[in-house]
A = this chain, B = another copy of it.
Amino acid sequence: MPRAVRERQMLDAAVRTFGQRGYRAASMDEIADLAGVSKPLVYLYLNSKEDLFTACIRREAQALTAAVREGVRPRLPADRQLWEGLRAFFSHTAQNPDGWAILHLQARTHGEPFAAEVSAMREEIVAFVTRLIAVAARDARRDPSLPEHEVAGLAEALVGAAESLAAWANAATGVSARQAAATMMNFAWAGLGDLMEGRSWSEQR
């Protein structure tokens, strides 16, 4: 069996195990078993538990950013791009709960080698959102009087809100990716103040 395939099996098993048990509670024995190979082979291919976990994080991070990137049509107005990105995000996390658990919970919880890995991805997403906000500001013919720093904070908050909603939507049965995205747009774009006045964000214009 070619190496690439074996490696994929191992990563699949590892993602599942790490996602469900957590980094420390997952044992290499269980992962090897689930992958259907012997433990030494896992070490031969992936060196150590740490490296294996890092590989999981990287793969899942790339899968997530790719899904979001592919979900967004870059020519649309900023709010529409955000809308599409959010839909892709909620959709992907709902379909890959173990991967999402690794990125959102495990990697950040278990210290330096891993937190850095996931931060890279997060920054990519934050940068994407930051760019959207800048574009929107330009389209509104406004000088970016919002300072850099403030924009970064807004993006951070937006991403955090989305992450939180992802967990909520996954847990609360019956909340679709679309609904979660709609809630996010209302919250982030329209703002609570506007919502109070009866103005909510809407996909149609």
A residues within 8 Å of B by Cβ? 21-25, 79, 105-106, 108-111, 133, 136-137, 140, 142, 145-146, 149-150, 153-154, 156-165, 167-168, 175, 179-180, 183-184, 186-198, 201
Give, as a whole number of angstroms, the nearest-CB distance from A91 to chain B.
16
Partner of A160, one of B150, B164, B196: B164
- Residues of B near A195 (CB, < 8 A) are 146, 154, 191
Among all A-B residue pairs, the 7 with the closest Cβ atoms: A191-B191, A160-B164, A24-B24, A161-B161, A153-B183, A157-B161, A109-B109
A160 to B163, CA, bound (A): 7
Residue of B nearest to A168 (CB): B156
Structural contact, B193 and A190, CB atoms closer than 8 A: yes
What are 5 inter-chain pairs, A to B, with CB distance below 8 A? A133-B192, A142-B197, A161-B161, A164-B164, A191-B191
Residue among A163, A191, A192 facing the most chain B CB atoms (10 A cut-off):
A192
A195 to B140, CA, bound (A): 10
List the B side residues contacting A153 at CB < 8 Å: 165, 168, 175, 179-180, 183, 187
Note all chain B residues with C-beta closer than 8 A to A163. 160, 164
Query: Whole-angstrom distance from the CB of A38 to the nearest CB of chain B?
Result: 14
The residue that A197 contacts in the complex, of B140, B162, B180, B186, with Cβ under 8 A, is B140
Complex Cα–Cα for A22 and B175 (A): 32
Chain B residues with Cβ under 8 A from A111's Cβ?
A: 21-22, 25
A150 in complex: contacting residue of B136, B145, B186, CB < 8 Å? B186
Contact B187 A157 (CB under 8 A): yes
Give complex CA distance A160, B170 in Å.
14
Q: When chains A and B are docked, how far (Å) is the Cα of A185 from the Cα of B159?
A: 16
Best-surrounded residue of A149, A157, A193, A201 (most CB of chain B within 10 A): A157
Given A157-B164, A163-B160, verify A108-B105 contact (CB < 8 Å). Answer: yes
Minimum CB–CB distance from A71 to chain B (whole Å) comes to: 19
